Copies of this chain bind each other. A is one copy, B any other.
Amino acid sequence: VEPRRTESFSDGVFAVAITVLVFNLLPIAKAGITPDDLATAWPQYAGYVISFLTIGIMWLNHHTLLSQAVRVDRTCLVLNLFLLMGVVTVPFTTALVADTIKASNSSSARLAAVVYGLLMVVISIGFQAIWLYLSSHREALSAPEERPDGSPRPPQPTGSPLLVALRFGAGLGGYIVAVVVAALGSALAALVIYGVVAVYYLFEHLPGPTD
């Protein structure tokens, strides 16, 4: 299977999932519009910004991942499907956190932050799985010298795949720390860590032949 339609479908899912985040904002407009009302809704705004950046950066890395392959086999498509299932769930966990974060030490807020973080952990593992699968099947998945649309075959990225996975896994580590913080301490502190990891991934990322 050529990657073009996989990218097209994945792009569509990412685009819809990232836009669905605005549905967490729309009820604010119904709840009354005074300066106080708008200020009270800060958890919704914070969740919107953090999750938007997070999904957006996932898209960037997904882009880089798939650009490694000239062909996508069935296994890879199924892994991709599970990854997308995680991405589409982000607006739900964002709503959980935004609805509870104000009482930052309540058990509800901490539970929501744990669920948010566990989803991020699952998504990170999904990325790692696709990366390791593509790395270990590079020969099989890049047989022709050209991609079907005629663009030249991407060169091998530098660096050991395992090393790359380890560096990329730093974000995974950050999410695990945040989950523990949320479980034992403060949901707000966990939310800050999620924001920090999002900013981290703005700069650190999978190596791509086209960068």
Chain A residues engaging chain B, CB cutoff 8 angstroms: 1-2, 5-9, 11-23, 25-26, 28-30, 32-35, 38, 48-49, 52-53, 56-57, 59-60, 63-64, 67, 71, 73-74, 77-78, 81, 84-85, 88-89, 91-92, 95-96, 99-100, 107-108, 111-112, 115, 148-151, 202, 205, 208, 210-211
Q: Name the distance in Å between A13's Cβ and chain B's nearest Cβ.
A: 5
Residue of B nearest to A29 (CB): B95
Could you list 8 examples of A-B contacts with CB < 8 Å?
A1-B63, A8-B11, A9-B14, A12-B12, A25-B89, A28-B96, A34-B108, A60-B81
* This chain: copies in complex: 4
Within 8 Å CB of A48, what residues of B?
89
Within 8 Å CB of A95, what residues of B?
26, 29-30
Within 8 Å CB of A20, what residues of B?
19, 22-23
Q: Are B11's CB and A14's CB within 8 A?
A: no
Residue of B nearest to A66 (CB): B5
Q: Name the distance in Å between A68's Cβ and chain B's nearest Cβ.
A: 13
